[in-house]
Amino acid sequence: MHEERNRQTILIVDDSDDIRSILAQMLEIDGYHVEQASDGTEALSTAERIRPNLILMDLRMPMMNGIAATRQLHEHAETREIPVVIVSGLDSEMFRDAAFSVGCAAFLTKPFSTHELQDILKRLLPQHESAPAK
């Protein structure tokens, strides 16, 4: 069993309820605490409020796309250290370059396996704090 205070929080940002729900289930099984936002603008306010350990950010969303939101997160001292993983159905050099240029930590293309996501989380989150569920 893991202690609630040790759980790492991941903010899932996606305009699709289904994708958010699937990702949330995957992450909760692995012992993470999950928060959700449905567009880039909501992501900014939620990130500032809850200061997640990591953000999984969709690329194409209403109000504000994932790259613009990542750029704004990195412009604010309070949120600039939070690693952002862009999760995208659109895969091209153009989007990858733009994502890395605004400071995203990794670019994950849909569809992806649980294993790929776990690898990225392992790499980006300090392991001594993680407490996977049994």
Partner 1 sequence: MSHRSSSSIKALASANLHESGVVSSKPVLIGRSQLIERMRAVIERIAHTNSSVLITGATGTGKEIVARLIHAQSNRAQEPFVDVNCSAIPEALFETEFFGHERGTFTGAHEMRRGLFEQCAGGTLFLDEVDALPLTAQAKLLRVLQERTLRRVGGRENIRTDVRIISSTNRNLQAAIAAGAFRPDLFFRLRVVPIYVPPLAERREDVPLLITHFLGRHAKRTGEKLRSFTPKAVRVMQDHDWAGNVRELENAIEFAVALGMGEQLDVNDLPPNLLPGFEFETAPLIAGSDPSNILRSSLAKRLPLAEVERCYIVAMYELHDKHSINTAAALGIDRRTLYRKLKEYGVG
Binding mask 17-56 for partner 1 (x = CB under 8 A): ----------------------------------------
77 binds partner 1 (CB under 8 A): no
The Cα 51–Cα 82 span in angstroms is 8
| Contact assessment for residue 9 and residue 34, using Cβ atoms and an 8 Å cutoff | yes
Cβ-based neighbour number of residue 75 at 10 Å: 11
Q: Which of helix, strand or coil describes residue 25?
A: helix
- Cβ proximity to partner 1: between 24 and 55 the closer is 55
121 binds partner 1 (CB under 8 A): no
Q: Which of 49, 60, 76, 110 binds partner 1 (CB under 8 A)?
A: 60
- Closest among 15, 8, 80, 81 to 42, alpha carbons compared: 15
Q: Which residues bind partner 1 (CB under 8 A)?
A: 59-62, 64-68, 71, 74, 80-81, 83-84, 90, 94-98, 100-107, 123-124
